[in-house]
Amino acid sequence: MEPTAWPCSGGGENPSKPRSLCDVSDRIPYLNARLQGFGVTIFAEMSALALKTNSVNLGQGFPDTDGPEVVAEAAIAAIRAGHNQYPPVVGIPELRTAVARHQKRFYDIDLDPDAEVQITAGATEAIAATMLSLLEIGDEVVTFEPWYDSYGASIAMAGGVKRVVTLRPPEYAYDGEAFERVITPKTRLVLLNTPHNPTGKVFTRTELEHIAEVCVRHDLIVVTDEVYEHLVFDGEHIPLATLPGMRERTLTISSVGKTFSFTGWKTGWVSGPESLVTAVRTAKQFLTFVSSAAWQHGAAVALDLDDDYYRDFTADMAVKRAVLCAGLTASGLTVHEPQGTYFVNTDIRSLSGEDGADFCLALPERVGVVGVPTQVFYDNVHEGRHLVRFTFCKRIEVLEEASMRLAGLRQTMEADR
Ligand code: PMP
Ligand code: GLN
């Protein structure tokens, strides 16, 4: 059977033509109705395509260099020291106290590391456990589109219903009225991501204040995904939990993957008021029970790295942003320069492209580069049809190679016309 949608689009107004390069049919036998349509994630699919075509992979967001040696050594030392059995469900005390110190150091948030911090298997498990523990069947979750791909699946697994507010380019501006309109008596929580993947938007204080005011007015819980908290180039990262009335209703999620370039460690945390964290823990303990011991020891060392580490990490990524944005601009694509994260979106219409999915499927053959069609992160696919996301968390020479290849793009597209 032909696939009828990008595999990870999962519901919504899906494109109708077959596009997947993986063998994904539109209906997967045995898979329950809640997960039909989620298929294979776009990241797995595009990374497989990059390998197959020997392309520069600017699709999936993972760095091509390791994080700090001292952090890796701490995990290795933990294994050698015999930290190889189940750690506590809540997480090892060294990591929970490090999370609390980090939140105090950067945001002046006070956390009780015993009651208000839960360690998880990456931010992904934190998001899933949050949805599974807080939602009743039919509860609505408001989030912004384009969204991060696991949100829809986590909400669906929990029996919830995703409702979206669209962030529109080039600024991906927040529309407060649209946000208020989408809230119904069934709304249980708001799932916010700032800095925002895939748009690179960093929500401003004014925007967050409005979100906070609405959440207090409607007595909503907020889950904020802040995995890119240390990747802000323009503006400022403001954790929603720091705004008036939000501490008691906000769960804050982050992880070691992005800030310390250890995406494979899958070690994350969720923090907030004891009542909410306890609920999340109840689900977490039956998903993975505990999270891997050695990585927690490494993560504890990572969070306590000095301010120079954090500053250099952001500065280094800002240089990479400049290199890739220049390369993309020179190729003729319209670049939406991101304020944060390590992703940049481009509008392909400046090269007479219309459909980002077609564009991404042809790009490896045209110039040997892989990107991700941003449309797969939308319920309203037409909103992102002409957008393509590239990541710049790669070595400068890799970004320069990609830029060189992209320089030939206009010619190959014109030759086709
Ligand atoms: N949220 C967002 C917005 C992401 O981009 C990612 C990808 N790292 C995650 C969550 C998942 O994080 P982790 O790898 O720690 O599970
Ligand atoms: N967060 C990464 C991205 O957006 C990828 C994570 C994944 O592969 N699931 O590219």
117 and 90 in contact (C-beta within 8 Å)?
A: yes
Instruction: Point out which residues pair with 56 in neighbouring strands.
Output: 369
241 and 250 in contact (C-beta within 8 Å)?
A: yes
Q: What is the pLDDT of residues 305-326, one digit of tens each?
A: 999 999 999 999 999 999 999 9
On whether both 217 and 263 belong to a single domain, the answer is yes
On whether both 268 and 298 belong to a single domain, the answer is yes
Residue 245 CA to ligand 2 centre (angstroms): 32
Q: Whose CA is nearest to atom 1 of ligand 2?
A: 61
On whether both 215 and 230 belong to a single domain, the answer is yes
| Mean of per-residue pLDDT scores for the chain | 93
Q: What is the C-alpha R_g of the chain?
A: 21
On whether both 291 and 390 belong to a single domain, the answer is no
Q: Which residue out of 120, 199, 224, 227 has the highest number of ligand 1 atoms within 8 Å of its CB and is therefore the one to mutate?
A: 227
On whether both 148 and 220 belong to a single domain, the answer is yes
Q: Which domain holds residue 280?
A: 69-304
Q: What is the CATH number of the domain that holds 290?
A: 3.40.640.10
Q: Assign 415 a pLDDT band (cuts: 50, 70, 90).
A: confident
Count how many domains the chain has.
2
pTM above 0.85, yes or no: yes
Q: How far apart are CA 357 and CA 15, in angstroms?
A: 10
- Residue 404, pLDDT score: 98
* Beta-carbon count within 10 A of 270 CB: 29
Residue 61 CA to ligand 2 centre (angstroms): 5
As given in the structure block, the two tokens for residue 297 are: 């020891």
Which has more pLDDT, 204 or 416? Answer: 204
As given in the structure block, the two tokens for residue 36 are: 């039909």
Q: How far apart are CA 331 and CA 99, in angstroms?
A: 42
Q: Which residue out of 58, 62, 125, 127 has the highest number of ligand 2 atoms within 8 Å of its CB and is therefore the one to mutate?
A: 62
On whether both 121 and 185 belong to a single domain, the answer is yes
Residue 225 CA to ligand 1 centre (angstroms): 8
On whether both 234 and 261 belong to a single domain, the answer is yes
On whether both 261 and 138 belong to a single domain, the answer is yes
Residue 17 clears pLDDT 70, i.e. is over it: no
Let me know if 204 is exposed, middle or buried by CB neighbors in 10 A (0-12, 13-18, 19+).
middle
For residue 390, what are the CA distances in angstroms to 21, 366, 376? 19, 16, 14
Q: Is the CB of 61 under 6 A from ligand 2?
A: yes
